[in-house]
């Protein structure tokens, strides 16, 4: 392993389990949004228009690790016509 890989691995190991879970959840939601957009043949611009948001906002959601509110998740789900999160019973 080279020095950069070792450095990165050591930093990842220092991340708390809670933060790691948050990052994984966020990445999963972003992947789901991207998947639904592709399935519905929609662009980020289309989603932004449906939500009444600036396209840059949607772009930031899909390129970073946003801290979505439940309201925002519900709005995105409604705009896409599919749930982003499915809870098991």
In a domain, 33, yes or no: yes
**pLDDT value of residue 58:** 93
Could you read off the pLDDT of 60-78 as tens digits, one per residue?
Answer: 988 877 889 999 999 999 9
What does the alpha-carbon distance between residue 39 and residue 56 come to, in Å, rounded to a whole number? 21
Mean pLDDT computed over 31-42? 95
Number of structural domains the chain divides into: 1
pTM score, whole prediction: 0.81
What's the CATH code of the domain at 45?
1.10.260.40
What is the extent of the structural domain holding 76? Answer: 22-80
At how many degrees (to 10) do helices 17-39 and 55-63 cross? 130
**pLDDT value of residue 1:** 66
In a domain, 14, yes or no: no
In a domain, 17, yes or no: no
On the CB side of 68, CA atoms within 13 Å amount to 25
In a domain, 58, yes or no: yes
In a domain, 30, yes or no: yes
pLDDT higher at 50 or 62: 50
Q: Percent of the chain scored above 70 by pLDDT? A: 99
Q: Which residues contact 57 (CB under 8 A, 6 or more apart)?
A: 48
């Amino acid at each position: 392993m080279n020095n950069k890989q070792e450095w990165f691995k050591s930093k990842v190991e220092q991340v708390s389990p809670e933060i790691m879970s948050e990052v994984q959840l966020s990445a999963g939601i972003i992947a789901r949004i991207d998947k639904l957009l592709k399935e519905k043949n929609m662009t980020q611009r289309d989603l932004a228009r449906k939500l009444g948001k600036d396209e840059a906002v949607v772009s930031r959601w899909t390129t970073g690790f946003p801290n979505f509110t439940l309201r925002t998740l519900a709005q995105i789900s409604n705009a896409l016509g599919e749930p982003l999160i499915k809870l098991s019973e």
